Amino acid sequence: MSAEEYFNLYKKCVDVQSIQFTLEDFKRFTQSSNIKIIKNRNCIAILGLTDSEIEIYFIGVEEKFRGKGLGKELLKNVISFSKDYRACTIILEVGVNNKPAKNIYRSFNFKECGVRKNYYRIRPGFRQDALIMRLSLET
Ligand SMILES: CC(C)(COP(=O)(O)OP(=O)(O)OC[C@H]1O[C@@H](n2cnc3c(N)ncnc32)[C@H](O)[C@@H]1OP(=O)(O)O)[C@@H](O)C(=O)NCCC(=O)NCCS
């Protein structure tokens, strides 16, 4: 898929107030060996790769397809990719008020391991803390 196609899918999967990546970012992502994009039906995950850790930059499902199990399927694929990559951990940040995302991560056994105060700018004058969550892949 081209950077434009990924970007168009991303725009459908992200809530408008949370858009953080631009088409220029996707052009860089598709060229970078440190970024992996996983695309399933109507959903997308963007991962940052280091030697031993995978960072989930974003997972999202198109709004009209949410609540049907696609997020779970996508996260299973992320975990399976991370194990194949031989990463020790998966880490991510999620807004403290983002209940669906917190629930899905908890259901896959991600644990909360820190808070970044006032991390997300929701709209002018409003900020939201981010929870840092981590899944250990070591057995
Ligand atoms: C978070 C998100 C990816 C979940 O995808 P989804 O396809 O709707 O999720 P699923 O249908 O697979 O549900 C998986 C679990 O998520 C949680 N969940 C999903 N929707 C929820 C809701 N509206 N309220 C509370 N929990 C919810 C539940 O734990 C659910 O498991 P259950 O069905 O056994 O209760 C989706 O809501 C989304 O794209 N949100 C916008 C983007 C975003 O905020 N991404 C996270 C950034 S880190």
pTM: 0.95
To test the pocket of ligand 1, the residue of 42, 61, 97 to mutate (highest count of ligand atoms within 8 Å of its CB) is 61
Listed in sequence order, the residues at least 6 apart from 32 whose beta carbon sits closer than 8 Å to its beta carbon are: none
Contact 107 CB / ligand 1 (< 6 Å) = yes
pLDDT at 16: 87
Cβ neighbourhood burial of 114 (10 Å; 0-12, 13-18, 19+)? exposed
pLDDT tens digit sequence for 31-42: 999 999 999 889
What is the rounded average pLDDT of the residues 3-14? 97
CA dist list (Å): 13 to 7, 53, 62, 89, 134: 10, 24, 4, 25, 23
Domain ranges of the chain: 3-136
CA distance 10 to 32: 18
To test the pocket of ligand 1, the residue of 64, 66, 99, 106 to mutate (highest count of ligand atoms within 8 Å of its CB) is 66
pLDDT tens digit sequence for 80-130: 999 999 999 999 999 999 999 999 999 999 999 999 998 887 777 888 899
Please give the CATH architecture assigned to the domain spanning 3-136. 3-Layer(aba) Sandwich (3.40)
What is the rounded average pLDDT of the residues 51-70? 97
CA distance 61 to 109: 20
Containing 71, the helix (H) or strand (E) segment is: helix 70-84
pLDDT at 70: 97
Q: Name the pairing type of β-strands 89-95 and 53-61.
A: parallel
Could you tell me the distance, in angstroms and rounded to a whole number, from the CA of residue 94 to the centre of ligand 1? 12
CA distance 42 to 12: 8
